[in-house]
Amino acid sequence: MQSNLRVARSAMPDCKIWAVVKADAYGHGLMAALRGFAEADGLSLIELDRALELRAQGWHKPIMMMEGMFEAADLAQMQAHQLQPVIHNDEQLAMLAAASHAGPEGTDGIDKAIDVHLKVNTGMNRLGFAPGRVREIYEQLAAMPVVRSIALLTHFANAENPQAPLLPSTQLALFKTCTEGLKAELSLCNSAAVLLQHNMHSDWSRPGVMLYGASPGGGSAASFGLKPAMSLESQLISVQSLQKGDYLGYGSSFQAEQAMRIGTVACGYADGYPRHAPTGTPILVNGKRTRVLGRVSMDMLSVDLTDLPEAGVGSRVVLWGEGLPIDEVAEAAATIGYELMCAITPRVRREVRG
C-alpha cells in the first residue's frame, strides 16, 4: 500500500491525494489502510460508520464522504467529526440550508462549519449537478454559514480508454467551462487518470484501485510500478487421479481428455472466489502456474496437477496476488479486479504484514 501510494504521488507530484478506502479499503481492511496510507493527505469513503471509526483510531487529517449525507442525522455527525461531504443533489442542499438556519455553532459553542465538495455531472450521469446549475449551486453554498469552503470535483467515465465515446478531454472541457472563475480547489483524477492522463491540473487526486496494486486499465499493474497489496492463499487438501473420460465436480462440466492428476483447494465462492471462473483460470501451486478445472463450488475448487508431480496435500496455493496478478484472474473470470478484492468474505482469515 505504501509503495503504491508513492507511485500515485510521483505520477502527480504537485497534487494532494485522497486515498480511497471505501468498501473496507477495497476488501483489504480499513485498519490496514489506515497504516498503509498514513502519508496520504486525506481519506475518501462512503460509509459514515467507517469514517467515525477512522476518527476514533486517530486519523485527524481530512475525510471526504464520497456520496455525502443520506439524511439530516448524517450531516450532524459530519459536522461533529469534521467530515467533508460531497454535495450532488438538491436534497443535500436543503439539509445544509436547514443546518445553516440553526447557526454555524452548536449549543456547546463548537464550530459546526464544514468543508464541502460540489460535484459536477460532466457526462457520466450518475451523481452531480448539471453544468448549467453549477454557478447557482456554488453561490447557494457560499451563502450558507455552515459551509466553510467549497471544492469542485467530477468523475471521468473512461480515463483508461482512448477509444471511448466520452473522453476525459470532453468532460474536462465542460468542467472548465462551467467552473471558470469559481474560487475552489479541484479534484479530478481517479486511478486511471492519475496513471494515464498526463498534464492534467488538479489540486487533489482520488486514486482507488491502483493503491491496492491492481490496474485501472490501460496497462498491467506491473507496467505502472504497482505491487499487489493482497494475496489470497490456501492449500491443497486432497489429490485425486482421473482417467480419460472421468468427470469432475458439480455439473460434470469438465471431462478428462487423458489420465490426469488433480488437486482440491480449500477455497470457493463462499470465500469470495468467483463461481463463474472457468476451466483454464490461472492459479499457482507451490509457486508454479497451473489452471482451475471444472466448476467452483462453495468451499472448494479443483486444479490441474498433471505437470506438478511434487504437489501434494498441504501445498501452498495462491489464487491471486503474489506471483499472480489479480487482473489476470479477473480477466479469465470475465470481471474486474475491483470486484474480486471486494468479494472476499468475512470467514477468510486475514494476516496483515508489514
Select from 206, 57, 78, 248 the least CA-distant residue to 146: 78
Select from 23, 17, 146 the least CA-distant residue to 85: 146
Our answer to whether residue 273 is catalytic in this structure is no
Query: Which residue of the set 176, 250, 273, 338 is catalytic?
Result: 250
Name the DSSP letter for residue 282.
Answer: E
Our answer to whether residue 22 is catalytic in this structure is yes
Query: Which residue of the set 16, 22, 61, 247 is catalytic?
Result: 22
**What angle, 0 to 180 degrees and rounded to 10, lies between the N-to-C axes of helices 48-56 and 72-80?**
20
Place of cell 465436480: 249
CA distance 102 to 311: 68
With beta carbons less than 8 A apart as the criterion, state whether 7 and 216 touch.
no
Give the C-alpha distances (Å, rounded to integers) separating 268 from 64, 96, 272, 321: 35, 46, 7, 16
Torsions phi, psi of 96, nearest 5?
-65, -40
Place of cell 464520497: 66
Residues labelled as active-site residues: 22, 250
